[in-house]
Amino acid sequence: MNTRRKFIQKSILATAGMTALPNVITAEHLAALKKRVGANDQLNIGLIGCKGMGWSNMNSHLLLPEVNCVALADIDQSVLDQRSANVEELRGKKPKQYKDYRKMLEDKDIDAVIIGTPDHWHCLNLIDSLSAGKHAYVEKPLANSIEECNLMVKAAERYGKIIQVGQWQRSGSQYAQAIDFVKTGKLGNIRLVKTWAYQGWMNPVPVKPNGTPPPGVDYDMWLGPAPSRAFNENRFHFNFRWFWDYAGGLMTDWGVHEIDIALFAMGVSAPKSIMASGGKLAYPDDASETPDTLQTVYEYDGFNMLWEHATGIDGGNYGTTEGIAFIGNNGTLVVNRGGWKVIAETENVNGQRKEKIEAMELVKPEGNAQQLHCKNFVDSIKANDPSMLKCGIKTGSVAAINAHMGNVAYKLGKKIYWDAAKGAFSESEANKIAKANYNNGWKLPKV
């Protein structure tokens, strides 16, 4: 039995077709590779939002010799200077700097942009970039509202550029293999899919007084379409995720990754109903607004999906801090960033317990999925073929919209219903929450 399981696992890995990128490339090695890349084959990229995932994405793109980082846009001068130095160290040349991304988009030599700004900026950044003729790699979640997601998809259809959404799990070998297994039907009737993120590293966000923005920060530009309010360190840079003005908490931050895989494997895009319950149960007195504990139940045709998250603890389902579990009559498939496995159900046959399907030990992933996701974006641009994308904008919008549905249900505190034909909720108050709320003179783009 064990020998056969290992054979199956090796066979799956052999047919995965994943090509790993090196984690570290020296400047000398890149220079040598770059000599082989003709000027017409090089791709000039600008980065909008240079901290956190914005830089992580840019760094992964710079592992590709045909990619140049020619421009950086950020509202924080210290971040601009730091990333300029990083690019110079990697490539020997400093990129141009911009405090206003719109000025950067005027550069005709830029072929594509990476958008790594807070969620409330994604819609404006993307549509402005598309209208300027740029391809785009946009961080997840796609947007900070359902209305913006739909508008961004409409803009993509109008401008016809290549758009990759940063849901990089789509480029992970373990997810592709797990999805293929689910679709074989071997798990039997799947009546429940669990998705979760337990984040033990997350400590309380301490309450801090309002203050003044750090030197070199254009705080008004950082706020953009968000409501005007005094600067507070808690709401800036990484922690913006836990405030409704700018993002949707763990429901959208982690939820889009896991929900995306679940919906794709199950072949669905929209639920019939949603209900959610939770709150600030771990850290009731900290500064954050979004719930630190949440359970969301989605009803689809033939099955339910459960999303759950919790901060401050790692005790997630099946002994993992995050993941997706497809629970069928014959067995359960569990997949996360560490790999995938199958847990068999058993039945009594002539007085003996036998597995309904063959269990499978953990199959670990191959390669770096985030780097492969970036390479996929570049390859799609070079081929001018959006069908090659692992996570195009429609895919990204489905995951983001479903995650936002969970937050809408949580805010209303009741079960809500989705009308797929109308693309709207049945409840007027839910549709109101699904709308974008722009302030400070900023307007929702028209497409």
When the candidates are 3.90.1420.10, 1.20.970.10, 3.30.360.10, 3.40.50.970, the CATH number that belongs to 172-367+393-433 is: 3.30.360.10
pLDDT above 60 for 24: no
User: Does the pLDDT value for residue 26 go beyond 70?
Assistant: no
Secondary structure (H, E, C), the chain: CHHHHHHHHHHHHHCCCCCCCCCCCCHHHHHHHHCCCCHHHCEEEEEECCCCHHHHHHHHHCCCCCEEEEEEECCEHHHHHHHHHHHHHHHCCCCEEECCHHHHCCCCCCCEEEECCCHHHHHHHHHHHHHCCCEEEECCCCCCCHHHHHHHHHHHHHHCCCEEECCHHHHCHHHHHHHHHHHCCCCCCEEEEEEEEEECCCCCCCCCCCCCCCCCECHHHHHCCCCCCCCCHHHCHHHHHHCCCCCCCHHHHCHHHHHHHHHHHHCCCCCCEEEEEEECCCCCCCCCCCCCEEEEEEEECCEEEEEEEEECCCCCHHHCCEEEEEEECCEEEEEECCEEEEEECEEEECCEEEECCCCEEEECCCCCHHHHHHHHHHHHHHHCCHHHCCCCHHHHHHHHHHHHHHHHHHHHCCCEEEECCCCEECCHHHHHHCCCCCCCCCCCCCC
pLDDT band at 1 (very low <50, low <70, confident <90, very high): very low
Q: What is the dihedral of CA 327, 331, 332, 333, to 10 degrees?
A: -120
Find out whether 84 and 72 touch, Cβ atoms under 8 Å: yes
| Alpha-carbon gap, residue 214 to 73, rounded angstroms | 17
**Quick one: pLDDT at residue 6?**
42
For residue 2, what pLDDT is reported? Answer: 43
**Does 423 have pLDDT greater than 80?**
yes
Q: What is the mean pLDDT of residues 60-82?
A: 98
Mean pLDDT, residues 7-21: 38
What percent of the chain is predicted at pLDDT more than 70? 91
Q: Do domains 17-169 and 172-367+393-433 have the same CATH topology?
A: no
Q: Region 344-365: what's the mean pLDDT?
A: 93
How confident is the model at residue 41, as a pLDDT? 83
Token pair recorded at residue 58: 């840019």
Q: What's the pLDDT tens digit per position in 120-135?
A: 999 999 999 999 999 9
Cα–Cα distance for residue pair 162/157, rounded to 1 Å: 10
Q: Indicate the domain borders of the chain.
A: 17-169, 172-367+393-433
The answer to whether domain 17-169 has CATH 3.40.50.720 is yes
Assessment of whether the complete model's pTM goes beyond 0.85: yes
